[in-house]
Amino acid sequence: MNMAKINVAIIGASGYSGEELIRLLMRHRGVCLKVITSRQYDGQGVEEVFPRFASSGLKFSAPDVERIAAECDVAFLALPHGLASEYALPLLDKGVKVIDISADFRLRSTAKYKQYYKEEHPSPEVLKRAVYGLPELYREQLKTADLIACAGCYPTSSILPTAPILAAGLAETNDIIVSSMSGVSGAGRKVALPYIFPECNESLKAYSPTGHRHLPEIEQEMAVAAGIEELAINFVPHLVPVNRGINSTVLLKAAAGCTLENIAATYEKAYGNEPFVRVLEHGKTSDTKYVTMTNVCEISYTLDAHTGRIILTSTIDNLTKGASGQAIQNMNIRFGLEETEGLL
């Protein structure tokens, strides 16, 4: 790779998504990681928070848009929702590409944003410039996007197995159920009673069985795939005691004429050349342990004759394909790099 390196900033680098970005970008041959920000750890070496990166020589600094604009081509926002918006416009105005891992620019509808996030959308005018950061569905648009709203973790794991099936008309659009399990890093590096070890270990529980914030995002993209205006699904997430990984089980009502062969062919067409989607042969089921620490989404499928339902399962690493790995994949696409660079 002889071209000049891309200069990169990570804003909000002390959480788990930030850690994963650092891990992946340190071995990426096309970038130079110039700035990592954290208000809390301003001035401290990265090794104070992440000893495994001791050899990098990186230091946290407080976020400084001027400096980032002066030094960087692209900024990853690994911030809580609401906060990301504050950085997006100033950076875009100064010509920095923005790849946002938060939820701020994923929903096209500001009404839905308000309904699910309980506040007005912080910058609706910027929202229009965002491209949804799910490369398998939006690769072309991503090539020229200035603001990329990376798909959420549950959405990535739900949409990837489902979208081609809906697009091919193999399933009904009014009877979709997603039941997901997530490891605890999905909650971020959050210090709260429900997340301490003795509360999570040996615990299995559903949460937000209605109205989870990722629900409208999943519905939005499933509707796009199905070519309809709107659809409504059930999405029930569960918290389970692993560090990393999401397993989603999707149940769909098969449309007339749907067969295992149709499904297999549909996936082959959709994902046969995708570097980060692995569709298992019929009869195998996906397992998070085969995708953790990778950018792969593993998909399995079957058809239940006795109820007429298609059953899909998918597994991803919530921090990689579900967040930081996908963000880098998006960056690679945007900057014309090999899409898999830094991710194999």
Interactions with its own copies, residue window 218-237 (CB under 8 A): 232-234, 236
Dist. CA 193–CA 199, nearest whole Å: 7
d(CA 229, CA 238): 28
Report the residue from 39, 205, 269, 282 that binds its own copies according to the rule CB under 8 A: 205
Return the residue of 39, 94, 143, 190 that touches its own copies, per CB under 8 A. 190
Q: What is the residue-wise DSSP string for 206-250?
A: E--TTT-TTHHHHHHHHHHHHTSS----EEEEEE-S-SS-EEEEE
Residue 5 DSSP symbol: P
- Select 234 or 259, whichever has its Cβ closest to its own copies: 234
- The CA–CA distances, whole Å, from 342 to 14, 24, 27, 29, 338 equal 20, 6, 6, 7, 9
Residue 150 annotated to the active site: no
The per-residue b/e assignment along 141-151, b for 16 or more CB within 10 angstroms, e otherwise, is ebeebbbbbbb
| 183 contacts its own copies (rule: CB under 8 A) | yes
Question: Parallel, antiparallel, or unpaired for β 97-100 and 147-150?
Answer: parallel
Where does this chain touch its own copies (CB under 8 A) — which range of 61-69, 126-134, 145-153, 178-186?
178-186
Per CB under 8 A, the list member of 198, 229, 256, 257 interacting with its own copies is: 198
Residue 249 as a binder of its own copies (CB under 8 A): the answer is yes
Chain position carrying tokens 């091919």 = 168
Residue 299 found at the interface with its own copies (CB under 8 A): no
The span from the CA of 20 to the CA of 23, in Å, is: 5
Residue 200: closest CA among 179, 188, 183: 183
Binding segment for its own copies (CB under 8 A), chosen from 1-9, 98-106, 143-151, 274-282, is 274-282
**Number of residues forming the site for its own copies (CB under 8 A):** 77
- 265 scored as a contact of its own copies (CB under 8 A): no
Residue numbers 74-93 binding its own copies by CB under 8 A: none
> What is the Cα–Cα distance from 23 to 172, expressed in whole angstroms?
41
User: Applying CB under 8 A, does 116 fall inside the site for its own copies?
Assistant: no
Contact 166, 263 (CB under 8 A): no
Tell me, rounded to whole angstroms, the distance of Cα 289 from its chain centroid.
18
Q: Which of 72, 150, 153, 297 is catalytic?
A: 153
Which one of the spans 2-10, 73-81, 133-141, 199-207 is the region binding its own copies (CB under 8 A)?
A: 199-207
Q: Which of residues 120-159 bind its own copies (CB under 8 A)?
A: none
Decide: is 298 part of the binding site for its own copies (CB under 8 A).
yes
* Given 50, 76, 87, 105, the residue binding its own copies (CB under 8 A): 50
Q: Which is nearer to its own copies, 217 or 298 (CB)?
A: 298
Among 202, 229, 256, 273, interactor with its own copies by CB under 8 A: 202
Residues with catalytic annotation? 153
